Chains A and B, each alone.
Chain A
Amino acid sequence: MLGEIRQARLLGLLCVIAGSLFLASLLFGSQTIPVFQALQETFADTSSVLALILTEVRLPRALIALFAGATLGLCGAAMQAMLRNPLASPGLIGSASGAALGAVIALYFGSAALSQFSLPLGGILGSLGATLLVYLLAGRNACTLTLILAGVAINSLSLALISLLLNLAPSPYAVQEIVLWMMGSLNNSSMDNFWIMLPGTLLGWILLLRVGRALDALTLGEETAQSMGVDLPRLRWRIFLAVALAVGSAVSVTGAIGFIGLVVPHMLRPFVGYQPGRLLAASALGGAILLLAADILVRLLPAQTEIKVGVVTALVGAPFFLYLIIKSRRYNQ
């Protein structure tokens, strides 16, 4: 009972933070505009510049940050629980870089007419392929090290293929976009981009709606979980598919934004009483908060050309990753 009240309070608090950051994301842009007037003009349905900036430039960016961040946080939590591995996350075990590879193939080499659908589809297939490959390489009951090594291998392979393909792509602009796919960026997103990523993302989330209880059971070990009625192979497939759908669609629009899926579940775990089921919703909100905040930060930093949002998440995430390694070393000794 007490736990549920705490959980509700936590989720409420995270919702409030995510909501305020979403609004802040509409307030701050590269240019200062009278936002209140922009809002009035938007609702008055006049086609003014301010309304245009608000609805066609800032809104899609905030929406994509919200949905992509939530996707990465949620999928990180689900993967860590299912693989019972604290280092599992879309960024580390290949789901994100595989998605970027799939999206790159679809965008630069696919047919132009189909691009609206082929882009997220490429992302989803790439993500699923890379995740399954890592899972098969590492084996079912892989220890942390094996899984991470398999992830490193598949990540490097995906990134190498991305650079190769962008070097071979017919467009003269392709080569300069390698960084964009590797670090991720929300710059100049349009509502079209948001609609492209939405269906896959929502489908992935829906698949993860009811896995909480099974993931809780899994903390007691696979055999115990099975004796409690958890259909393990089905659970695995469900989560892999959900991650592929959600991460694949999100990454095909934003590029591979690192560390959110790794860091957020760890930060929030103590607050949900170490229960994976409860962590899911909290992590989704936490991921959205982190990406919204990082994206506001890149807009406020006075750089000549905009810093990629993945740079900020990596600057926060990499030290945290090191901290996790040191902590696990102490634990092992």
Chain B
Amino acid sequence: MPGIRGFILIWLMLAAGLSWGDGRPPSRVVSINLCTDQLLLMLADADQIASVSYLSLQPESSFVAGEAIRYPTNHARPEELLALDPDLILTVEFTDRRLLGLLDKLGYRVARLPMPTSISAIESNIRQLAELLGQPARGTALIHKMRSALSQIPPQPANQRPKALFYQPRGYTSGSGTLQNEALALAGWSNLAAEKGIHGYNSIDLESLLLGQPDQIFSSTYTGETRSLAQRQLRHPALHHITHNRPIIEIPFKYWICGGPMITDAVAELHAALPNKP
């Protein structure tokens, strides 16, 4: 028994030693989170990618379901990851601490990207990952593409911005410091939730929402087809009266679940919903 354990230990140390920065870009990158899956597939060469998470295959949440199918998938289980022999593991800041501790102990190189809450944070994530992958030019190109897509949307004068907010099941909304807030602003809306002093992802009281008199309500529900009390709340008659029977517009949640270049599509959808566009 001690023999086997010693062997594994030496093997692990070898594996760890080989993976530490030897100047060359990583060639066996494993992503264990949908958010890093998407950026990885956009930035890396196909032969750099060893595996992406199984979540990237689900078309309702993933933008890269088509490409992801070409790679082995993982469920972020330690056994799987060891077998993949990665030289770089990608994930986001909120990841199971025990898994991170284990990977750290085994000497794997793990890069954790922050969850962006603004366009500039998305750009910095792209830049950081492109750098890590040895693909800085692709990063710059992707950022440039994002910026030019956003510049297509005509800015709305500050005094002509209709009021809108996101209203989610259970009465949650997106205040200042969220991607939705920035997207609403870029699309030409004024975010009622931020005006009410709500910061981050927080609940808004129904009476407070009504007193704000929004012109439009948006929603991004995880699964529109299912039923629950939380989802029933979106059908409260007062919500329809206050927007003069304008229906709640559903913006797919895959735009927000991970901050990435797809934010430009969300801004375009929000912009298209503006009443009497110039």
Which one of B205, B213, B228 has the greatest number of beta carbons of chain A within 10 Å?
B228
Interface residues of A in 113-166 (CB under 8 A from B): 115
Indicate if the CB atoms of A188 and B206 lie closer than 8 Å: yes
**Contact pick for B230, options A30, A33, A177, CB 8 Å:** A177
Indicate if the CB atoms of B233 and A169 lie closer than 8 Å: no
Chain B CB within 8 A of A29 CB? yes
Q: Give the distance to chain B from A175, nearest Cβ to Cβ, in Å.
A: 9
With A56-B237, A170-B223 as known contacts, state yes or no: A30 contacts B205, CB within 8 Å: yes
Indicate if the CB atoms of B205 and A170 lie closer than 8 Å: no
Q: Given the complex, which residues of B lie within 8 Å of A307, measured CB to CB?
A: none
Q: Give the distance to chain A from B73, nearest Cβ to Cβ, in Å.
A: 21
Which one of A57, A180, A192 has the greatest number of beta carbons of chain B within 10 Å?
A57
Mask, B235-270, CB within 8 Å of A = 1, is 111100110000000000000000000000000000
CA–CA, A171 to B228, complex, Å?
6
Chain A CB within 8 A of B152 CB? no
**Contact pick for B226, options A33, A49, A172, A190, CB 8 Å:** A172
Interface residues of A in 168-189 (CB under 8 A from B): 169-174, 176-177, 180, 188
Q: How many residues of A are in contact with the other chain, CB < 8 A?
A: 28
Chain A CB within 8 A of B229 CB? yes
Q: How many residues of B are in contact with the other chain, CB < 8 A?
A: 27
Q: Give the distance to chain A from B162, nearest Cβ to Cβ, in Å.
A: 16
CA–CA, A99 to B242, complex, Å?
34
Indicate if the CB atoms of A170 and B226 lie closer than 8 Å: yes
Indicate if the CB atoms of A107 and B228 lie closer than 8 Å: yes
Chain A CB within 8 A of B18 CB? no
Q: Given the complex, which residues of A lie within 8 Å of B207, measured CB to CB?
A: 29-31, 33, 53, 57
Residues of B within 8 A of A (CB): 169-171, 203, 205-208, 210-211, 213, 222-223, 225-231, 233, 235-238, 241-242
14 interchain pairs (CB within 8 A)? A30-B205, A31-B205, A52-B241, A56-B237, A57-B238, A171-B230, A172-B222, A173-B170, A173-B228, A173-B229, A177-B230, A188-B171, A190-B235, A192-B235
Closest 5 CB pairs of A and B: A171-B226, A173-B230, A171-B228, A56-B238, A173-B228
Given A172-B222, A173-B222, A188-B206, 19 other A-B residues pairs in contact with their CB atoms under 8 A: A30-B206, A30-B208, A31-B205, A31-B207, A31-B211, A33-B207, A49-B210, A52-B210, A53-B207, A53-B210, A107-B229, A108-B226, A108-B227, A169-B228, A170-B226, A173-B228, A176-B230, A190-B235, A190-B238
